[in-house]
């Protein structure tokens, strides 16, 4: 096979814009059998969901789709028309490249805000718990606290765990609001020296999360920055601020609630139980959902007294992932199909916090007995119940939510329930710590070497992170499943987060049986070695793909690639590690993607962000980024072609790494720093 410069393979999507959405009238846009079952039922009963609304929105405006509609000031909207007449620029004279880069940068600012605000909430909870102000929270994982403190240079000596937690929390708050010019601690202490140098050289190391967001909004105000490269670099800085926010969230959530270890559970709508009180936690923040989980255990008796056989918790979106990872709570479904869960008629309460909650859940709930409970000051839905959740009264609020659900269960008696009996076994809970522990059973001295050796020897083709959302532009879950099957068939070790992980979990790809069905020989042998060495710890074997948690837990995948880089003695862009958001949709996905590219990963996006309106910005994302950072975007909407492109990127990296190593050995030199 001829070797290409990595990015020449990747440049343009193989499916032209006009052909991407084949049948906008067809609302059966899912490959999840449980979702399809519910969509049939919805059609019969005239219940409207996002699938219908997606069809109703077609054809979508091409200007907006391609990112060449500007609404930054209200002289607009300005739309960029072809040619070189006055219509080819906005009223202020902004060209397509300025408009596209500003729009996409503002998405990054939005994404970084969401992730980091969630992170800030966790920091405050830990700080207040450690100060003794919160009765319902405490430091749960002291070892993790010590590890984080040591990494950021805070000595634990002579300090109680609460004193240490206060110091660590205050250091985290510094990363949000620092007014001096040192880069964020959670950035500099978690990445390679090479990345630190690169970010300093390119002036994209964030000094504070809040400031990066504010600066980017300023930079993209009318009449500030018109230079697309400068705007995109500002966006990358925000992408790294997003990374800092994610990493703080993961670290301190682990300190508060425990670092995940392998758990066995189930996924898909079949986890709902007609004879139980069904409570769905939906959103992102583990503070609320974990409290609901803890309290539910104590309230089983109350549920039984009401005639139920118990309380069935399940999750949607990333708060679901948080409680799945730490407490084995099953997954009900993922983003696109959230309304369909309510249409089963079995959900007594859906309690939501922030992000990715469709406002329409309330409208659907009103057709059933289901109650929607919002809990956060910044996230309310007209018509829904609002139980203001504050950490001081966490347990009380969680109890109130469950009591409402028990009432709901009583009201539901005599009403029809229609739960598709579809679910799959899931083995999840793979924090980096858990993965390292598995690897250590083979090599206790240098666990990560088990993984890098397998890659260098060609047993594994590399590591891929499958992450991100659902987006009905693709058939629900289809991109996730197709890419995961192709990669595992070709011996890629797949780790996964977010709604991508939930798609794979629902489809049975986190069951041990999936290894036999999908894994190539190399991956099969690797996973078998790992399972054999850990027989004493694993009651149910290993899954085909490894669930690393929620979207903020992409930080765990970053840590894995950084460990690989350090072991291989190279910078992250040389590691055979790729990322893919097969059905990306949210602003968070854009900021995560920007951070991933800055870290040096080939980063695939399977649904088009609004960027095609400027060939220049498209080129910056897919080509120039690679020259500067080693990472780049691959925009590809056909999942089979996307998998081939990801495999080619991995192949290229492994091949290059081998050549560089051989050359360095031959001439007794260091590995070169370039990629």
Q: Does 305 interact with ligand SF4 (rule: CB under 6 A)?
A: no
> Residue 325, interface with ligand NFS (CB under 6 A)?
no
CA dihedral of 155, 210, 112, 69, whole degrees rounded to 10: -160
Place of tokens 């609004």: 610
- By C-beta, is 54 or 335 nearer to ligand NFS? 335
93 Rama sector, left if φ>0, alpha if ψ -120 to 50, beta otherwise: left
324-332, 397-405, 450-458, 583-591 -> range binding ligand NFS (CB under 6 A): 583-591
47's enclosing H/E stretch is none
Binding positions for ligand NFS, 529-568, rule CB under 6 A: 550-551
Partner touching 73 among ligand NFS, ligand SF4, none, CB below 5 to 8 Å by kind: ligand SF4
Q: How far apart are CA 631 and CA 198, in angstroms?
A: 12
Binding mask 214-233 for ligand SF4 (x = CB under 6 A): --------x-----------
Question: What gap in Å lies between CA 74 and CA 76, rounded to an integer?
Answer: 5
Q: Which is nearer to ligand SF4, 69 or 579 (CB)?
A: 69
- Contact range with ligand SF4 by CB under 6 A, out of 68-76, 373-381, 391-399, 629-637: 68-76
388 binds, among ligand SF4, ligand NFS, none (CB under 5 to 8 A by kind): none
* Residue with Cβ nearer ligand NFS (345 or 468): 468
Task: Please give the structure tokens belonging to residue 579.
Answer: 């990322």
Can residue 121 be called a binding residue for ligand NFS (CB under 6 A)? no
> Which of ligand SF4, ligand NFS, none lies near 551, with the C-beta cut-off 5 to 8 A by kind?
ligand NFS
Token pair in block for residue 64: 């907006």
Instruction: Please tell me whether residue 281 binds ligand NFS under the rule CB under 6 A.
Output: no
Is 590 a residue that touches ligand NFS (CB under 6 A)?
no
Restricting to residues 330-369, name those near ligand NFS by CB under 6 A: 335, 356
List the alpha helices (DSSP H) in 189-285. 193-201, 209-219, 228-257
Contact between 15 and ligand SF4 per CB under 6 A: no
What are the φ/ψ torsions at residue 496 (nearest 5 degrees)?
-150, 155
Please choose which of ligand SF4, ligand NFS, none residue 280 contacts, taking the beta carbon within 5 to 8 angstroms, the exact cut-off set by kind: none
**Is residue 483 within the footprint of ligand NFS (CB under 6 A)?**
no
Which string of x and - marks every residue 91-130 that binds ligand SF4 (by CB under 6 A)?
xx-x----x-------------------------------
Q: What is residue 5's three-state secondary structure?
A: coil
Q: Which residues of 102-112 are buried (b: 16+ CB within 10 A; e: fewer)?
A: bbbbbbbbbbb
Does 12 interact with ligand SF4 (rule: CB under 6 A)? no
CB 588 within 8 A of CB 476: no
* Piece in contact with ligand SF4 (CB under 6 A), picked from 56-64, 73-81, 283-291, 507-515: 73-81
64 near ligand SF4, judged by CB under 6 A: no
For position 310 contacting ligand SF4 by CB under 6 A, the verdict is no
Check binding of 318 to ligand NFS (CB under 6 A): yes
Between residue 373 and residue 432, which ones bind ligand SF4 under the rule CB under 6 A? none
Please state, in angstroms and rounded to a whole number, the distance separating the CA atoms of residues 16 and 22.
11
Where do the H-state alpha helices sit in 178-219?
A: 185-188, 193-201, 209-219
Looking from the CA of 254 toward its CB, the CA atoms found within 13 Å total 28
Residue 639's binding partner out of ligand SF4, ligand NFS, none, with CB under 5 to 8 Å set by partner kind: none
Using CB under 6 A, which of the segments 92-100, 210-218, 512-520, 585-593 binds ligand NFS?
585-593
Is residue 588 near ligand NFS by the rule CB under 6 A? yes
Query: Residue 551 CB, nearest distance to ligand NFS (Å)?
Result: 3
Candidate ranges 36-44, 74-82, 424-432, 495-503; the one touching ligand SF4 (CB under 6 A): 74-82
- Residue 68 in contact with ligand SF4, rule: CB under 6 A: no
The interface region with ligand NFS, picked from 19-27, 414-422, 584-592, 649-657 by CB under 6 A, is: 584-592
Cα–Cα separations (whole angstroms), residue 335 to 34, 558, 636:
14, 23, 21
Say if strands 78-79 and 69-70 run parallel, antiparallel, or are unpaired: antiparallel
Nearest to 405 by CA among 371, 441, 450, 365: 371
Cβ-proximal residues to 528 (8 Å cutoff; 6+ apart), any chain: 515
**From 58-66, 84-92, 574-582, 594-602, span contacting ligand SF4 (CB under 6 A):** 84-92
Q: Which span sits near ligand NFS by CB under 6 A: 10-18, 119-127, 465-473, 538-546?
A: 465-473
Note whether 276 binds ligand NFS by CB under 6 A: no
Buried-state track 567-587, b at ≥16 Cβ within 10 A, e below 16: bbebbbbbbbbbbbbbbbbbb
Element (H, E) at 518: helix 513-518
What b/e string do you get for 81-101 counting C-beta neighbours within 10 Å, with b at 16 or more? Answer: eeeeeeeebbeeebbbbbbbb
d(CA 543, CA 560): 18
Q: Which residues bind ligand NFS (CB under 6 A)?
A: 284, 317-318, 335, 356, 468-470, 498-499, 550-551, 586, 588-589
């Amino acid at each position: 096979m001829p070797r290409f410069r990595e990015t020449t393979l990747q440049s343009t999507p193989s499916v032209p814009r006009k052909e991407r959405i084949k049948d906008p009238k067809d609302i059966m846009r899912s490959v999840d059998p449980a979702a399809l079952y519910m969509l049939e039922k919805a059609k019969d009963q005239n219940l409207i969901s996002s699938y219908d609304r997606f069809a109703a929105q077609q054809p979508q405006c091409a200007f907006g789709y391609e990112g060449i509609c500007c609404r930054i000031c209200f002289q607009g909207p300005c739309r960029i028309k072809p040619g070189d007449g006055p219509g080819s620029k906005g009223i202020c004279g902004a060209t397509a490249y300025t408009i596209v880069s500003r729009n996409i940068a503002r998405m990054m600012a939005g994404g970084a805000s969401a992730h980091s605000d969630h992170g800030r909430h966790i920091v405050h909870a830990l700080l207040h718990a450690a100060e003794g102000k919160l009765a319902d929270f405490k430091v749960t994982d002291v070892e993790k606290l010590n590890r984080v403190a040591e990494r950021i240079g805070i000595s634990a000596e002579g300090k109680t765990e609460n004193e240490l937690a206060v110091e660590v929390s205050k250091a985290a708050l510094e990363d949000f609001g620092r007014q001096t010019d040192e880069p964020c601690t959670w950035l500099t202490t978690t990445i390679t020296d090479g990345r630190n140098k690169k970010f300093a050289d390119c002036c994209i190391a964030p000094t504070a999360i809040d400031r990066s967001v504010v600066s980017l909004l300023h930079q993209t105000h009318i009449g500030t920055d018109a230079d697309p490269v400068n705007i995109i670099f500002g966006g990358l800085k925000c992408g790294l601020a997003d990374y800092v926010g994610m990493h703080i969230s993961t670290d301190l959530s682990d300190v508060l609630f425990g670092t995940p270890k392998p758990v066995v559970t189930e996924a898909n709508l079949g986890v709902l139980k007609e004879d139980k009180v069904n409570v769905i936690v939906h959103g992102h923040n583990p503070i609320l959902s974990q409290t609901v989980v803890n309290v539910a255990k104590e309230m089983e008796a109350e549920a039984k007294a009401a005639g139920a056989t118990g309380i069935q918790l399940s999750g949607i979106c990333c708060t679901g992932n948080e409680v799945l990872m730490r407490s084995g709570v099953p997954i009900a479904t993922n983003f696109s199909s959230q309304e369909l869960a309510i249409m089963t008629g079995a959900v007594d309460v859906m309690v939501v916090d922030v992000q990715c909650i469709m406002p329409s859940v309330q409208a659907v709930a009103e057709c059933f007995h289901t109650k929607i409970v919002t809990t956060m000051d910044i996230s309310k839905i007209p018509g829904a119940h609002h139980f203001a959740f504050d950490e001081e009264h966490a347990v009380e609020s969680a109890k109130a939510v469950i009591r409402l659900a028990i009432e709901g269960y009583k009201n539901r008696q005599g009403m029809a329930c229609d739960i598709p009996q579809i679910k799959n076994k899931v083995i999840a809970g793979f924090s980096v710590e858990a993965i390292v522990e598995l690897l250590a059973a083979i090599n206790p001295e240098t666990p990560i070497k088990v993984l890098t050796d397998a890659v260098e020897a060609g047993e594994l083709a590399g590591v891929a992170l499958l992450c991100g959302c659902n987006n009905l532009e693709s058939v629900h879950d289809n991109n996730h499943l197709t890419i995961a099957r192709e990669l595992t068939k070709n011996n890629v070790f797949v780790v996964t987060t977010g709604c991508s992980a939930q798609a794979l979990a629902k489809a049975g790809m986190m069951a041990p049986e999936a290894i036999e069905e999908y894994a190539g020989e190399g991956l099969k042998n690797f996973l078998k070695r790992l399972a054999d060495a850990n027989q004493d710890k694993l009651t149910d074997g290993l899954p085909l793909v490894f669930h690393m948690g929620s979207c903020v837990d992409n930080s765990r995948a970053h840590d894995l690639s950084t460990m690989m880089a350090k072991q291989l003695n190279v910078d992250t862009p040389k590691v055979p590690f790729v990322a893919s958001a097969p059905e990306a949709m949210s602003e968070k996905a854009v900021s995560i993607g920007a951070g991933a590219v800055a870290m040096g990963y080939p980063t695939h996006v399977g649904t088009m962000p609004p960027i095609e309106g400027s060939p220049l910005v498209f080129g910056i994302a897919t080509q120039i980024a690679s020259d500067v950072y080693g990472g780049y975007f691959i925009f590809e909407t056909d999942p089979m072609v996307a998998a081939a492109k990801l495999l080619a990127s991995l192949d290229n990296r492994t091949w290059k790494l081998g050549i560089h190593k051989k050359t360095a050995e031959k001439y007794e030199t260091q590995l070169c720093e370039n990629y």
